[in-house]
A and B are shown apart, each in its own frame.
Chain A
Amino acid sequence: MARVEAIEYGDRKVYPVSAFNRGVASWLERLPSVWVEGEVTELRRQERWQSVFFTLKDSADGSCLAAFMARGQFDALQLELRDGERVHVYGRAELWPSRGELRLRALAIERLGLGQHLAALERLRQKLAQEGLFAPERKRPLPRFPRRIGLVTGNDAAAKRDVITAITTRFPPARLLVAETYVQGPRAAAAIVETLRAVVAQPQVDVVILARGGGSFEDLLPFSDERVVRAVASSPVPVVSAVGHEQDTPLCDLAADARASTPTAAARLVVPDLDELVQSLERLRSGLERGARRTLELKRERVQRTGERLRAAARLRVERHRAGLEVLAAKLRALSPRATLERGYAIVRRQGQLLRSTASLALGERVEVELAEGGFAATVEEVRP
């Protein structure tokens, strides 16, 4: 380790800047070499420079780290790195003595391989899932009749045309607002986020389709970028993710309110079928007429039934009275002396008074006898007690 000489001012030790830097630099040299992951930005390479310079950026929070690599070594790697690419850099911290700046001396650079991309993706998926970004209760229903449909798509003519055709075929009156963006490569993620924001900021845009045709795993990576996923989740209007094919599941699919694996499926989600809609309207109209008629019919039937019940009730009442009367008449008949007379009994009266005993009867007295049929007068000839 280089010895750092201090200047003495009385009992104060003072280090010149160069000595301080050298001191820190030699201390830093003791740190081990490690792998650092980040996005490459601001790559600067010039023939007359001995080193290639770049910045490594943390895509999650934007933290930056200056890095460099010997130009010969960098060229030998033949990485053809572009801005925004994710890499693993093996290196160690160094202090650039002339500027007092910390830099990462890169000893090796590796572009992220498929396995590493997958692992990173899985970590991000778990992190965002834990935040609840993919929760089913976050999903919003799509409008049945969007006033305007935003379409964020690449400039790949076929993919764009397929979505537009699918929508306008199904629903000719659809109004679309199409915005092209980069959908591939290191700049895509930021561009997609910007474009999405610009589209939803337009008036009357009620739903947005994020569309991209099929592509390789790497091609679709921007749609799993944390910034894109968050932008989709926080969009003020529902987002339909129509990225890649059925087997692809970029993370934006999970954050979107709905997912479509084909342009036709996307169209089915965002617009009604015009023919079906017209038919359904016609059905509703006949339902309206049928319903009104039915209501009328029901009312009429009810009035009729009520009338019938009224009449029946009246009839029943009369009938009941008549039956009661018959019973009374029968009772009356049973109780009248007439019935007794008909069984052979006779009523005997003296001067209009009913005779119940012979006690007061005298010989020769005149009595009136009444039978069931007719009557006669008689004179008493004999009295028995």
Chain B
Amino acid sequence: MSTEPSFEAAEKELRQIVERLEGGAVPLEEAIALWERGEALYRLCRERLEQAEGKVEELARRVEPENPSA
């Protein structure tokens, strides 16, 4: 994971990890690795949500069509 996944991707991967772990068919070492990865993804998601600041911007340019046929 060189680049940080988007919230969407992180949440999806976390969900998949949980599903795999709940299936119980994962080899032990892999299960431990998945757990660690899952925890990291969870933290990433929470951080993203806490850091995100709501923002309402107005598009500066009020669009006035010069030529209505354009």
Contact = CB atoms under 8 A, between A and B. Distances in A.
11 contacts: A41-B68, A84-B68, A143-B8, A191-B63, A278-B49, A281-B11, A281-B49, A284-B18, A291-B17, A292-B34, A295-B31
Nearest to B58: A178
A187 B65 contact: yes
Contact of A288 (B17, B59, B68): B17
A176 interface: yes
B56 A291 contact: no
A376 B17 CA distance: 91
Interface string A162-190: 00100010011111111111000011011
Nearest to A144: B8
Given A187-B65, A191-B65, A284-B14, A175 B31 contact: no
B49 A291 contact: no
A288 B20 CA distance: 9
Interface in A33-83: 41, 57, 62, 83
B41 to A, nearest CB: 9
Contacts of B53: 173
Interface of B: 6-8, 11, 14-15, 17-18, 20-22, 24, 26, 28, 31-32, 34-35, 38-39, 42, 45-46, 49, 52-59, 61-65, 68-70
A6 B54 CA distance: 80
A287 B34 CA distance: 12
Which residue, B14, B28, B32, B69, has most C-beta atoms of chain A within 10 A? Answer: B69
A281 B56 contact: no
A298 interface: yes
A181 B21 contact: no
* A: interface residue count bin: 35 or more
A290 interface: yes
A173 B52 contact: yes
Nearest to A198: B63
Contact of A145 (B6, B18, B42): B6
A322 interface: no
Nearest to B62: A180
Which residue, A174, A180, A284, has most C-beta atoms of chain B within 10 A? Answer: A284
A296 B17 contact: no
Given A281-B11, A296-B28, A296-B31, A291 B68 contact: no
A39 B47 CA distance: 54
A195 B20 CA distance: 46
Contact of B21 (A145, A189, A294): A294
